[in-house]
Amino acid sequence: DAKTTQPTSMDCAEGRAANLPCNHSTISGNEYVYWYRQIHSQGPQYIIHGLKNNETNEMASLIITEDRKSSTLILPHATLRDTAVYYCIVRPYYGGATNKLIFGTGTLLAVQP
């Protein structure tokens, strides 16, 4: 079962920040939050992951609440090419059987011109 809850869809104006929320109220201490995205019918693409500190890379920022029960993925300047389904996934960091990714239905982000 997916351990995360995300809105089904969101809109964002091109050039503005896109803030995608995710609830993971049952997250355990050794689980990280991962974000992937899937542009129409392509293979999913890794975006970012984090444990408890905020993280930033060239694609996005990840803000995790202090109680770790929710997080927000931020695309600082959304472009039309960012239109995709965004998946929030929680899983332990290291391998073993728990290396599997469990995808929910994600959030369809539509960036509007």
Partner 1 sequence: DADVTQTPRNRITKTGKRIMLECSQTKGHDRMYWYRQDPGLGLRLIYYSFDVKDINKGEISDGYSVSRQAQAKFSLSLESAIPNQTALYFCATSDSGQGKGKNEQFFGPGTRLTVL
Listed ranges 9-17, 18-26, 66-74, 97-105: which one lies at the site for partner 1 (CB under 8 A): 97-105
Q: How far apart are CA 113 and CA 100, in angstroms?
A: 36
Closest to partner 1 by CB, 14 vs 103, is 103
Phi, psi for 72 (deg, rounded to 5): -135, 130
Q: Is 45 in the site for partner 1 (CB under 8 A)?
A: yes
* CA distances for 70 relative to 21, 39, 95, angstroms: 7, 24, 23
Structural contact between residues 26 and 33, judged by C-beta atoms closer than 8 angstroms: no
Listed ranges 16-24, 45-53, 59-67, 70-78: which one lies at the site for partner 1 (CB under 8 A): 45-53
Closest to partner 1 by CB, 29 vs 43, is 43
The least CB distance from residue 7 to partner 1, in Å, is 14
Closest to partner 1 by CB, 6 vs 70, is 6
81 three-class SS = helix
98 three-class SS = helix
Q: Which residues bind partner 1 (CB under 8 A)?
A: 2, 41-46, 49, 87, 93-97, 99-106
